[in-house]
Amino acid sequence: MTVEIGLDDIEDLAIGSALLGTGGGGDPYIGSLLCREAIGNFGPVRMIDVSQLADDDAVFGAAAMGAPTVMIEKLYSIEDQDRAIRALERYMGRTATAITSLEIGGCNSMMPVAYAAMRGLPIVDGDGMGRAFPQLQMTSFNIGGVKCAPMTLADEHGNVVVFETDSGLKAEELARPLVAAMGAAACMSCYPMTGSEARSTLVPGTLSAAIAIGRAVSGKRHADLAPVERLLAALRELPLYGYANCVFEGKIVEVERVTRDGWVFGTCTMRAPEPSHDAVVTFQNENLTFSIGTELKCVVPDLVMIVDTETAHAIPTERLAYGQRVSVIACSAPRQLTSQEALDVVGPKGFGLDVPYTSVKSLLA
């Protein structure tokens, strides 16, 4: 199946990808402006199913890396993304035949679409996370044995860094200070792979899923339902996520944040109108766990979304504030993220949490 991503899909993609960002991933707004501009200039983007990739296709990942607060000051340019990809193409001696998103959650859903429009390349319907994660090694590509590096970083001045590493974790460790030296907002390309590697490691269908979620939340589908119900209906229709429930509805009564090593850790406590136990979401950039009282109800990599009860739009962790009326959606992660190898990287252990992973479906049963 080949479909196009056009101007009309951008807002839905922004809404859907913010939700899949589970509190992190950055605001897709700036990226959506780049997408509009690129699609306006170069026309719609062809979105291809993973099954349409040929074994020897050259698939390149495109993304922005940096601090969301800096990104909204320095904005972005598609030319910088181009430099990152071209440099990796030169280094690899291969020319990209398709572009993929590394992270569908948040702002990194957008740049690859804008870039694919500019290059006239197809974008693969899928990504490396099926949500948002804070670090480069936390991808289904890495879990599936695709190397993160060689990778490139490009800043707005034309400075480009190419480097190789022995692991995804090392790529993350090297990239982070490089990005800071580039002004804390850079474009990158990594996880260069063949079509067959992409087919076996990508989380498939996430780009069309984000658009479908956005369409439902904005009321273009399931218009007869309330916003939160529309979101649930959209998630349940997607085999990728499948199990989704609204596990709490109430008001935020406390938000605590601390910063350690460049990460923001915190908790968000919520209270329901009918007094029961308080509900708590913990986060490290993205939401990690959801519990009611002392009972754990959902843990990473399963998705914990805090949404505005009124609109079902995502509320990112930095905007959580006392008094907001919120609903918490717990949703099962794509199966690529829940194998034993995957859980070592993106499960509770990958975030230093001392709890075993249990699927949200059994936690809520």
Partner 1 sequence: MRVGVDVGGTNTDAALIAGREVIASVKAPTSADVGSGIVQAIRAVIETAGVGKDSVTAVMIGTTHFTNAFVQRRDLAKVLAIRIGAPASRGVPPFTGWPDDVRQAVFGGSALVTGGFNYDGKPISTFEPAQVIEAVRQGQAAGISQVAVSCIFSQLNSEQEIRVAEIVAEVAPELSVTLSSELGRVGLLERENAAIMNASLRPLAAVVATAFADALRQLELACPWYVSQNDGTLMSAERLRRHPVLTFAAGPTNSLRGAAWLTGQTDAIVIDVGGTTTDIGVLKGGFPRQSSVHVDIGGVRTNFRMPDILSVGLGGGSIVRHVGDQVTVGPQSVGFRLREEALVFGGSTLTASDIAIASGWADFGDRSLLSELHELDVAAARKVMSDIVADAVDRIKTTADDVPVVLVGGGSMLIQEAPVGVSTLHRPDHAGVANAIGAAIGQVSADVDRIYMIASTDDREAAFAEVRQLATQGVLDAGGLLSELEIVDLEAIPIQYLPGGATRVICRAVSDLASTETDA
Would you say the C-alpha torsion 220, 215, 10, 249 has a positive or negative sign? positive
Q: Does 69 bind partner 1 (CB under 8 A)?
A: yes
Residue 183 makes contact with partner 1 by CB under 8 A: yes
* Pick 30 or 84: Cβ nearer partner 1: 30
Q: Which is nearer to partner 1, 93 or 323 (CB)?
A: 323
CB 21 within 8 A of CB 155: no
- Find the binding residues for partner 1 in span 88-127 (CB under 8 A): none
> 93 or 273: whose CB is closer to partner 1?
273
DSSP string, 177-218: HHHHHTTSEEEEEEEEEEHHHHHHHSEETHHHHHHHHHHHHT
Tell me which of 11, 79, 229, 249 binds partner 1, using CB under 8 A.
79
Per-residue interface string for the shown chain with partner 1, residues 132-151, x marking contact by CB under 8 A: --x-----------------
Instruction: Classify residue 293 by burial, with Cβ atoms within 10 Å: 0-12, 13-18, 19+.
Output: exposed
State which residue, 104 or 107, has the beta carbon closest to partner 1. 107
Q: Which residues are CB-neighbours of 37 under 8 A, at least 6 positions away?
A: 78, 114
Is residue 72 close enough to count as binding partner 1 by CB under 8 A?
yes
Q: Minimum CB separation from partner 1 for residue 87, in Å? A: 17
Closer residue to partner 1 in complex, CB, 212/270: 270
Q: Which residue's CB is nearer to partner 1, number 179 or number 212?
A: 179
- # residues contacting partner 1 (CB under 8 A): 52
The residue (of 158 and 352) whose beta carbon lies closer to partner 1 is 158
**Contact pick of 8, 73, 295, 341 for partner 1 (by CB under 8 A):** 73
CA dihedral 237, 243, 249, 252 (to 10 degrees): -110
> According to CB under 8 A, which one of 90, 157, 220, 277 is a site residue for partner 1?
157
**Runs of H (alpha helix) within the chain:** 7-20, 29-42, 68-74, 78-92, 111-119, 140-143, 168-181, 195-201, 206-217, 227-237, 340-346, 360-364
Find, among 116, 77, 118, the residue nearest to 97 by Cα.
116
226 binds partner 1 (CB under 8 A): no
Which segment (50-58, 145-153, 198-206, 271-279) binds partner 1 by CB under 8 A? Answer: 271-279
Contact 145, 201 (CB under 8 A): yes
* 249 touches partner 1 by CB under 8 A: no
Could you please report the per-residue DSSP string of 67-124? Answer: -HHHHHHH---HHHHHHHHHHHHHHHT---SEEEES--SGGGGTHHHHHHHHHT--EE
Task: Decide if residue 171 touches partner 1 (CB under 8 A).
Answer: no
Q: Is 74 in the site for partner 1 (CB under 8 A)?
A: yes
Burial of 259 (0-12, 13-18, 19+ CB in 10 A): exposed
Task: Rank residues 24 and 195 by Cβ distance to partner 1 and give the closer one.
Answer: 24
Q: In this structure, what is the dihedral angle of CA atoms 212, 213, 218, 222, given to the nearest 10 degrees?
A: 80
Determine if 70 is a binding residue for partner 1 (CB under 8 A): yes
Q: Does 67 contact partner 1 by CB under 8 A?
A: yes
Given the rule CB under 8 A, which residues bind partner 1? 24, 29-30, 33-34, 36-37, 66-70, 72-80, 134, 156-158, 176-177, 180, 183-185, 251, 257-259, 261-264, 271, 273-275, 285, 310, 318-319, 321-325
